[in-house]
Copies of this chain bind each other. A is one copy, B any other.
Amino acid sequence: MAELILHDYWRSGAAWRVRMALSLKNVPARSIPVDLSAGAQAHPAYRAVNPQALVPALEAEGTIITQSLAILEWLEETHPTPPLLPKTPLARAQVRAMCALIACDIHPLQNLRVQNYLKAHNLNPGDWTRHWLSEGLAALETLVSAQGQGFCHGDSPTMADCFLIPQLYAARRFKVDMAPYPALLAVEAKAMARPEIARAHPDAHPDKPD
């Protein structure tokens, strides 16, 4: 297979999901930085890559795949070992539901473009962001408490962990009180002890500013 190219930003939670999945599957990809702090995602050259002007985007076999959910499913189909989804359809659905809870119902309400919109309309994004983060994490705490055995679902990493770890990092940035989420914090501690997970962290990214 030809080289994979990841349009990436060191602090993007959505790009981090993809870096973690690539790392867990030991699939190399060349990272091309899209500097969100400088607005590089809105440049016409990048819009030609992704008309949504968002990271991540993955180039594979000359085709661009956008959306982290779609990229992780593609990785699972083309690089199935180790699996990041369980075997039975119902268990797979439970993992995908956790991913979607984060990808649909938490992250889009706190990401950079929404923060910028709120600020441009003289609204303080802090309370807004903490409201949606807390509501989403509370539901996730219930699901992980029921389904997790060390990781979000069962006893090995799945796609759901690739979504959880960046979301908890974002929650701390937004000063969410983490005390109500002991099951999520336990998963995070166990996950971050794995080198293949730790090396996908923004602090380990070569593009992180000094």
Using a CB–CB distance below 8 Å, which chain A residues touch chain B? 51-54, 60-61, 63, 65-71, 73-74, 77-78, 89-90, 92-94, 96-97, 99-101, 103-105, 107-109, 114, 117, 123, 128, 131, 136, 138-139, 142-143
Contact = CB atoms under 8 A, between A and B. Distances in A.
Q: How many copies does the complex hold?
A: 2
Contact of A70 (B54, B70, B74, B93): B93
Contact of A108 (B70, B94, B108): B108
Contacts of A109: 108-109, 114
Q: Is the interface of A mostly helix, strand, loop or mixed?
A: helix
Contact of A117 (B61, B131, B142): B131
Nearest to A102: B104
A188 to B, nearest CB: 20
B96 A73 contact: yes
A143 B78 contact: no
B90 A61 contact: yes
B117 A108 contact: no
A128 to B, nearest CB: 8
11 contacts: A51-B142, A61-B90, A67-B96, A67-B100, A69-B96, A70-B99, A73-B93, A78-B89, A104-B104, A104-B107, A109-B109
Q: Which 7 A-B pairs have the closest CB atoms?
A: A70-B96, A67-B100, A74-B93, A70-B97, A51-B142, A67-B97, A51-B139
A129 to B, nearest CB: 12
Contacts of A114: 109
B61 A104 contact: no
Contacts of A92: 73-74, 77
A207 to B, nearest CB: 24
A99 B96 CA distance: 14
Kindly name the residue among A73, A97, A99, A142 whose own CB sees the greatest number of chain B CB atoms within 10 A.
Answer: A97
